[in-house]
Amino acid sequence: MAGRRRVVVLVVAAALLVAVASAGASGKSARFELLRLAPAASLADLARMDRERMAFISSRGRRRAAETASAFAMPLSSGAYTGTGQYFVRFRVGTPAQPFLLVADTGSDLTWVKCHRAASASPRNASSLPAPAPASPRRTFRPDKSRTWAPIPCSSATCRESLPFSLAACATPANPCGYDYRYKDGSAARGTVGVDSATIALSGRAARKAKLRGVVLGCTTSYNGQSFLASDGVLSLGYSNISFASRAASRFGGRFSYCLVDHLAPRNATSYLTFGPNPAFSSRRPSEGTASCKPAPAPTPAPAGAPGARQTPLVLDHRTRPFYAVTVKGVSVAGELLKIPRAVWDVEQGGGAILDSGTSLTVLAKPAYRAVVAALSKRLAGLPRVTMDPFDYCYNWTSPSGSDVATPLPMLAVHFAGSARLEPPAKSYVIDAAPGVKCIGLQEGPWPGLSVIGNILQQEHLWEYDLKNRRLRFKRSRCMH
């Protein structure tokens, strides 16, 4: 087939040279006779060639659509039904696409999935993991089944300089780059890293899909950690040049956003993780080129200056990477600003505050924690205390009649730079810990040390991380569409 095509091309090219010379001399137009020198192909061959050509045309169309789309979104849901405090996102990677359920983590810079095959070279020079579990065969990535998977060589500059979690061992230059990724809670993942394509669904009149290429992806062959038992891996939303968030945001407006439903919401309650401008913060409706996993049109957008939409500078400091830091000015309870040393919120003095979607309970450095729980517990002093780990302050919320006690809860507010305030619903800081029992849902952290605004305190708010302009926007929302 290839030989016959070359004959046709050569004949047409020769005719073109002769005709152009003749036309140039006479000033007239040129006319070519198309010659079919190859034997006629069968209808089956023609149909097959047409399918190949249409696949090529379609792929070019999907590429252009991905390049011009302004945003895309992925379904996001609470993992409480699995016994974890994480939020899960549905993610499709590889060619053909393989579906996974990953932890959405703003504190991670490596996206990884549980991998079917063992790494071609076992990572060395890594301290031992406590009883690592092999990747579950139930839903695992098959790199050998993906046409777009490409391992990163351990001898490459990317492995040695751009991946801070990579291992030093490199038996041969061609060996894949190994990693031993450790989390602050003691969990870990080990495997090899490569690049692949993620599939995103485009909204509009017709169902279309596009590829986000060059996604750094870890192929995890062993791991430990409770949250990883219910998920297939981690989607990295941290601030890093290799994270999925940075890769996707750079293509879609330099920003991403998420809305966390109530962590105790029903299993089918779904919100979205969006890359690109979020219509809830814009007065413009999304165009036909907007990419989304939603089957229905986006809800009517609210103006950026609408009541409840607030913003504060996003602190992208190398000392807190890959976490996103914010400048906290103080915390108030029932309208009273608490006496907390300024150093607690100052990175320069060993403090600071970050937002972390991968941490459930909010952790406050010791001086802040003690001030906040003292103010809250003072207003709950009339309720019977009960003991329940891991909380310090829990209360029996059931009256003698068996109904919940009608005790008003004081308003807690976190004050950010720029006069922005986070005023979470009371259930986000006095949480339901057991039937008839509520606890102050905060944890004490070390001092000096960072304070962490966890996902329960973030719930029922829409958060937009504008990396391009270093700005954090947020507003109250039920998060369900």
Q: Which of 105, 109, 196, 232 is catalytic?
A: 105
Is 105 an active-site residue? yes
Do residues 222 and 129 touch, judged by C-beta distance below 8 A?
A: yes
Helices (DSSP H) in 303-402: which residue ranges?
Answer: 366-378
Give me the phi and psi of 372, to 5 degrees please: -70, -45
Burial (CB < 10 A; 0-12, 13-18, 19+), residue 66, is: buried
Q: Which structure tokens are listed for 438?
A: 């509520």
Residues in the chain: 481
Do residues 281 and 309 touch, judged by C-beta distance below 8 A?
A: yes
User: Cis ω on the peptide bond leading into residue 390 (within 30° of 0)?
Assistant: yes
Measure CA of the first residue to CA of the last residue in the chain; give whole Å: 53
- CA-nearest of 268, 263, 292, 265 to 278 is 292
Do residues 429 and 441 touch, judged by C-beta distance below 8 A?
A: yes
Q: How far is CA 471 from CA 231, 254, 415, 455, in A?
A: 30, 11, 15, 19
Task: Using the structure block, give the residue that is written with the tokens 């409706």.
Answer: 285
Q: How far is CA 263 from CA 227, 452, 465, in A?
A: 15, 17, 21
Q: How far is CA 132 from CA 28, 111, 136, 169, 189, in A?
A: 78, 19, 12, 20, 8
Transcribe 156-197 into DSSP letters: SHIIIII-TTB-S--SSTTSBEEEEEE-TTS-EEEEEEEEEE
Q: How far is CA 218 from CA 111, 236, 242, 268, in A?
A: 6, 11, 11, 29
Q: Which structure tokens are listed for 347?
A: 């990175």
Q: Which structure tokens are listed for 267?
A: 């299993």
Amino acid (one-letter) located at 128: S
Give me the phi and psi of 252, to 5 degrees please: -130, 70
DSSP 8-class letter at 329? E
Please state, in angstroms and rounded to a whole number, the distance separating the CA atoms of residues 392 and 411: 20
**Neighbouring residues of 350: CB distance < 8 A, sequence distance ≥ 6:** 343, 447, 448, 449
Q: Which of 109, 262, 356, 466 is catalytic?
A: 356
Is 356 an active-site residue? yes
Please state, in angstroms and rounded to a whole number, the distance separating the CA atoms of residues 100 and 477: 27
Residues catalogued as catalytic: 105, 356
